[in-house]
C-alpha cells in the first residue's frame, strides 16, 4: 500500500497545473522566462497575481497528496505520497521527466506533514536570498535547515502539528533533499565572473 500511495502522490504532483494556469494568462511558462513551470518564473513573466495562484495550486497538490496518502496508509502513506508528489513535480511524466523545482509543492507537503517547520524555512530562505542574492543558494540553505530541524525534532520529539510523528521527519527531509537539491544546485552562480 505504501508503494501505491507513492505512485498516487507522483501522479498528483505531475499534473501540469502551472503550465495550464500560465496558458490561461496567455503565457507559456515552458518557453518564456527561465522555462521553468513554477512560481518564480510566473512572477518573472506575468507578475504577482499568476505567481501567487501557481504557488497556491502547487501547494494544494502537495497538501492533498499527503492527506490522501494518510487516508490510504496512515503516516507512512502520508510521507510516501508527499515525496511522490514532489518527485512528480520535479521529474514530470508529461514533460519527459523535466518539470519544476519542487518548492511550491514541498511547501504544501510540509503544511500537511509538519506545519511547525514552515515559518523557520521561509525565514531561512528569505535571509538566504537577501545575503546571497541567489535563489539557488537560498534554496540549498533551506534544504540544509530542513534536515537539521528534522534531526532536532526527532531527537527531542517536538510536536509536528501535522499528520506525521517525529520518527518520519528525517525520512521526509532527506527524501525532499534528494529529489530537489540538484535542480537548485544548478542555480548556484559558480560560473559568474568575479566582481572587481
**56-87 pLDDT tens trace:** 999 999 999 999 999 999 999 999 999 999 99
Nearest by Cα to 179 from 40, 23, 13: 13
Segment 151-170 shows an average pLDDT of 94
The mean pLDDT value for 44-60 works out to 95
Q: Which of 7-11, 20-24, 173-177 has the lowest mean pLDDT?
A: 20-24
Angle at 134 between CA 86 and CA 147, to 5 degrees: 45
> Per this entry, what is the length of the chain?
196
**Predicted pLDDT at 187:** 66
Distance of CA 49 to the CA centre of its chain: 20
pLDDT on residue 194 = 43
The C-alpha atoms of residue 59 and residue 182 are separated, in whole angstroms, by: 20
Structure-model confidence comparison of residues 27 and 188, the more confident one: 27
Residue 34 binned pLDDT confidence (cut-offs 50, 70, 90): confident
Distance CA 33, CA 74 (A): 40
pTM of the model: 0.92
Q: How many CB atoms are located within 10 Å of the residue 166 CB?
A: 17
Q: Domain boundaries in the chain?
A: 2-185
Q: How many CA atoms lie within 13 A of 76 on its CB side?
A: 5
Q: Is it the case that residue 177 has pLDDT exceeding 80?
A: yes
> Residues 83-101: what's their mean pLDDT?
93
Residue 32's pLDDT band (cuts 50, 70, 90): very high
Cα 113 to Cα 96: distance, rounded to the nearest angstrom = 29
The H-or-E segment that residue 69 falls in is helix 48-90
Q: Assign residue 119 a region: left if phi > 0, alpha if psi is -120 to 50, beta otherwise?
A: alpha
Q: CA–CA distance from 125 to each of 8, 25, 32 (Å)?
A: 29, 28, 25
**101 and 90 Cβ atoms separated by less than 8 Å:** yes
Amino acid at each position: 500500500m505504501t508503494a501505491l500511495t507513492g505512485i498516487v502522490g507522483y501522479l498528483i504532483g505531475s499534473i501540469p497545473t502551472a503550465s495550464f494556469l500560465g496558458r490561461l494568462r496567455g503565457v507559456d511558462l515552458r518557453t518564456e522566462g527561465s522555462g521553468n513551470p513554477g512560481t518564480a518564473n510566473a512572477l518573472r513573466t506575468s507578475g504577482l497575481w499568476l505567481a501567487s495562484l501557481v504557488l497556491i495550486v502547487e501547494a494544494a497538490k502537495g497538501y492533498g497528496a499527503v492527506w490522501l496518502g494518510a487516508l490510504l496508509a496512515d503516516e507512512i502513506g502520508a510521507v510516501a505520497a508527499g515525496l511522490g508528489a514532489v518527485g512528480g513535480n520535479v521529474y514530470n511524466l508529461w514533460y519527459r521527466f523535466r518539470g519544476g523545482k519542487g518548492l511550491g509543492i514541498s511547501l504544501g507537503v510540509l503544511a500537511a506533514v509538519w506545519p511547525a517547520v514552515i515559518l523557520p524555512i521561509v525565514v531561512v530562505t528569505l535571509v538566504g536570498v537577501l545575503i546571497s542574492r541567489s535563489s539557488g543558494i537560498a534554496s540549498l540553505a533551506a534544504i540544509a535547515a530542513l534536515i537539521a530541524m528534522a534531526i532536532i525534532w526527532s531527537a527531542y520529539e517536538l510536536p509536528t502539528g501535522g499528520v506525521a510523528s517525529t520518527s518520519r521527519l528525517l525520512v521526509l527531509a532527506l527524501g525532499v533533499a534528494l529529489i530537489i537539491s540538484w535542480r537548485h544546485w544548478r542555480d548556484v552562480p559558480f560560473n559568474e565572473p568575479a566582481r572587481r
